[in-house]
Structure 1
């Protein structure tokens, strides 16, 4: 391994709190909202998840990089996190099908990383004080000077980020001779969502975040999908209009994460920024329809207003997060529409909720009959 200069680095939180560590050798500084993920595996999928755009990721697992990277385990075409904070960064790796080290992978992406941080103390601090903007600096700039940078940093509340990660032009995924055709609105779609749809005999046309309903309808799809993505759902006025028009014609509609929030807003239900989001691969959810529990993969910093949803005449809660009783899923009583706040495609995570893709196909088939 080549020599790497591991200089002192720091993580500065907006409230002035500083955590010190070491650079992994990529110099500079980066900005974003600090968030933590409690998953013990799947770091490459996490780093490439478009829903994390604009966020500095704190990993709670003690070792990051120990199994290298593999091109088959990405969820988009590039690293989407703004920066990485970890305890032990492994420059060496051991896995038979790994293609390169995490360091080489991140160096190409020029991602700023700070390691040797007391991540237990950092996560405890975030839990107590809430998610906030932060700066990672590995180039020696003093904390006092860095504090001035926060004045020009936007807060996540009210921030539209789907446009930063969405496709610029429509594209296709899957076999064009498949049984079903799906129009998907890309608000930051994960590749494994497309894999799950394709594996169920779906040919997917993926549209930019600001595509109109007429554009999506021109594909003559059997169903519509609203994807996950980063940022606040409230500024996504166009996507909310698309959801309203899909529901008005009673077309099959499935939403995940940001798509779930957009559907709620389209029906007059508000969303809010959480004190701390849900990010990990072991979140307990109860399916209120079946009574069964699910261990789920989650990644979101906004949620749907539970009281407003309970009072809605047409929408009802189908899933609840058992840690804090927040809304994890809903469906329409009169329309062919349902959505979940978590990630049934997992990647990384358990497969307890993959049945939701089958439910989407069942909804399509029931309408065809």
Structure 2
């Protein structure tokens, strides 16, 4: 499908800077959110459906988006989670044989506003220099003052609780009921590929809503606990932090990813902060201090934990570090069966360098089981 005459569109940043483009598919509308960018060269469909991106306007740095269409199996949640899409060249045609539909059809089904023909190199360079900020994309190119007024009312990502917007409202199960392990997963924005990785290691997972009390998690008698990735600022999630404290006190194995990693840090009294620019892409270098090996990782986060407080904490060890800016990329507790990472070992999209972390989780469960056999 070709669009010869494209409708004008714009990106208005919170500081008043404007970039112009065209509406994808001649759609009309307006979308607000924090503008961020992802450097991945592939995996756009998984990125768009990742709950961790809820409420964000996504700038894709790859020059061509949509060229391999959309596949019904390549989703990380039940719907698109980004607030809007910004790209350079949008491909209305696709060439992959196993695609189910075009990306345009996929976005239209999910009612997502997308704009193309944007100088994304200039936009990303500007965001790098000036930091992540709120923005609006719109086809109302002649209503700048009105858009500025509306944008000024959009809350900052700092202090914003979003896990409740993406978490399930009722528990559900994933995997085979007769699997060897039972895992209680707290959903604060969980990706499907995390569940696939857990189930592939012979686990039956019960996924609980974000505000589930520890007593309900414990009543299922799991072999281990998992706290998922998710969107927004971790500090407002007081109930989740308290639940993490209770899980830690019980001392059964606990694994956290991204937002879950930040929750575990907060449960230990380590603060978090909003980054000037987050880490979003599939080629982020990380060093594992315990093995001495480097890993290329998939990352998506705009908050991080305080390194100085982590280093000073008597019960925490920094296990991983991001090599670009030396932020904390992984921790474990010295005297508890608890560890977490600030990146995505399940990837989707991305490399599989860090998938061993799931094996490490189940090894911890095995060790705990052996040391707690009833006499």
> What TM-score do the two structures reach when normalised by structure 2?
0.97
- Report the more deviating stretch, 253-262 or 134-143: 134-143
Q: Is the 8 A contact 1:67 1:98 kept in 2?
A: yes
Q: Is the 8 A contact 1:157 1:273 kept in 2?
A: yes
- Report the more deviating stretch, 249-258 or 143-152: 143-152
Q: Is the 8 A contact 2:2 2:92 kept in 1?
A: no
What is the Cα-based RMSD across aligned positions, in Å? 0.9
- Report the more deviating stretch, 45-54 or 144-153: 144-153
Distance 1:68 1:55 in 2: 22
- Deviation of 1:196 after TM superposition, in Å, equals 0.1
- Listed one character per residue, the Cα deviations across residues 223-251 of structure 1 (whole Å, up to 9, x for unaligned) are 00000000000001111111111111111
Matched, 1:21 2:21: yes
For residues 1-369 of structure 1, the aligned pairs below 5 Å read 1=1, 6-24=6-24, 25-369=26-370
- Deviation of 1:47 after TM superposition, in Å, equals 0.2
Any idea what SS the aligned residue of 1:298 has? strand
- Deviation of 1:141 after TM superposition, in Å, equals 4.4
- Listed one character per residue, the Cα deviations across residues 312-367 of structure 1 (whole Å, up to 9, x for unaligned) are 00011000000000000000000000000000000000000000000000000001
Distance 1:167 1:260 in 2: 20
Distance 1:126 1:151 in 2: 18
- Listed one character per residue, the Cα deviations across residues 245-278 of structure 1 (whole Å, up to 9, x for unaligned) are 1111111000000000000000000000000000
Matched pairs, number: 369
Any idea what SS the aligned residue of 1:71 has? coil
Distance 2:39 2:117 in 1: 17
- Listed one character per residue, the Cα deviations across residues 148-168 of structure 1 (whole Å, up to 9, x for unaligned) are 012210000000000000001
Distance 1:217 1:27 in 2: 48
Q: Is the 8 A contact 2:260 2:340 kept in 1?
A: yes
Distance 2:319 2:142 in 1: 50
Distance 2:72 2:336 in 1: 39
Q: Is the 8 A contact 2:14 2:152 kept in 1?
A: no
Q: Is the 8 A contact 2:188 2:210 kept in 1?
A: yes
- Deviation of 1:2 after TM superposition, in Å, equals 6.7
- Listed one character per residue, the Cα deviations across residues 38-94 of structure 1 (whole Å, up to 9, x for unaligned) are 000000000000000010000000000000000111000000000000000000000
- Deviation of 1:280 after TM superposition, in Å, equals 0.1
Distance 1:292 1:243 in 2: 29
Any idea what SS the aligned residue of 2:301 has? strand
- Deviation of 1:139 after TM superposition, in Å, equals 3.8
Q: Is the 8 A contact 1:185 1:226 kept in 2?
A: yes
Give the gaps of 5 or more residues in structure 2: 371-375
Distance 1:197 1:4 in 2: 47
Give the gaps of 5 or more residues in structure 1: none
Any idea what SS the aligned residue of 2:188 has? coil
Distance 1:2 1:319 in 2: 47
> What TM-score do the two structures reach when normalised by structure 1?
0.99
Q: Which runs of 4+ in 1 moved over 6 A?
A: none
Distance 2:206 2:4 in 1: 44
- Deviation of 1:26 after TM superposition, in Å, equals 1.8
Distance 1:196 1:158 in 2: 31
Q: Is the 8 A contact 1:181 1:202 kept in 2?
A: yes
Q: Is the 8 A contact 2:34 2:133 kept in 1?
A: yes
